[in-house]
Amino acid sequence: MYGLVKVRYFAKTLFTIGVFAGFVMALSVAASATERPFGLGTLATAEQIAGWDIDVRPDGKGAPIGSGTSADGEEVYAELCAGCHGDFGEGIDRWPILAGGLGSLATAEPVKTVGSYWPYASTVYDYVYRAMPFGEAQSLTHDETYQVVAYILNMSDVIDDEFVLSNETIASVKMPNQNGFMMPDPRPDGQLASAPCMQNCEVPTKIIGRARIIDVTPDKQ
């Protein structure tokens, strides 16, 4: 008899906990419904957004605080980059060449390197910090990235030995091929059929199917 009472009490307790948990979950869903119209995912925190917001634009905006010279970058480059790109940026096997090729783009054998092809020093920083070293992307500090980029630019005679590459100076670096990119695209097949709509745009749509598992299809077409 005592055992039966104990089982009933335990079942009642579990039921109470389950009801309470369901109530809390319902409140959570209701509270987030206005923030997440389809009830999917979670809102990103400021810290999470900062982890993704690492792009450095052509005009230098977004460049993180830091600095470095080519002399500083020589050691970092030798340790982390030379194994693939060579001691002088000449490239090993089929790994990309980083230096040289100046004036070759209009020839029958163009050599695309950071010095000969890349339009902005700031986007060199963006790429190196975002994707290098190969297999260990984003392992460099901001200072180390400035140092490596300074060393690469120095190998192509873009900056001198004394130049301090930093978030304050990177936009001032003039790349040899900066004006080699034509915008907008002058080729006939690259033109828009009509001017794109930039505000108050209403594009006719038609719902042809609905999601079955989770109702995320908007009712308004």
pLDDT (0 to 100) of residue 213: 67
* Residue-level pLDDT at 91: 96
Confirm if 149 and 81 have CB atoms less than 8 A apart: no
Q: Which residues pair with 67 in a beta bridge?
A: 166
Taking only the tens place, the pLDDT of each residue in 84-123 is 999 999 999 999 999 999 999 999 999 999 999 999 999 9
pLDDT band at 205 (very low <50, low <70, confident <90, very high): confident
Considering the domain boundaries, does residue 205 fall inside one? no
Confidence of residue 5 (pLDDT cuts 50, 70, 90): very low
Kindly state whether residue 191 falls inside one of the protein's structural domains. Answer: no
pLDDT tens sequence across 176-188: 999 998 777 777 7
Is residue 220 domain-resident? no
Rounded CA-CA distance 197/190 in Å is: 18
Q: What is the pLDDT of residues 26-70, one digit of tens each?
A: 545 554 445 666 778 888 999 999 889 999 999 999 999 999 999
Cβ atoms < 10 Å from Cβ of 177: 18
B/e letters for 98-110, b = 16+ CB within 10 Å, e = fewer, are: bbbbbeeeeeeee
Amino acid at 109: E
**With contact defined as beta carbons under 8 Å apart, do 131 and 125 qualify?**
no
Distance, in Å, from the CA atom of 48 to the CA atom of 42, rounded to the nearest integer, reads 11
132: domain CATH number is 1.10.760.10
For residue 154, the tally of other CB atoms under 10 A from its CB is 21
Are residue 32 and residue 82 in the same domain, yes or no? no
**pLDDT score of 221:** 57
16: confidence class by pLDDT, cuts 50, 70, 90: low
Query: What does the alpha-carbon distance between residue 11 and residue 19 come to, in Å, rounded to a whole number?
Result: 12
Q: What pLDDT is stored for residue 167 in this prediction?
A: 98
- Domain contains 158: yes
* Domains: count for the chain: 2
Q: Are residues 52 and 34 part of one domain? A: no
Q: What pLDDT does 8 receive? A: 53
pLDDT of residue 216 exceeding 80, the answer is: no
Average pLDDT value for residue range 185-195: 76
Sequence length of the chain is 221
pLDDT at 42: 87
Specify the DSSP element, H or E, that contains 165: strand 165-166
Q: Are residues 52 and 19 in the same domain?
A: no
CB atoms within 10 A of CB 47: 7
Residues 13 and 80 in one domain: no
Residues 6+ apart with CB under 8 A from 38: 214, 216
Q: Residue 111 sits in which domain range?
A: 47-182
Residue 36 and residue 65 in one domain: no
Residues 74 and 162 in one domain: yes
Are 127 and 51 within one domain? yes
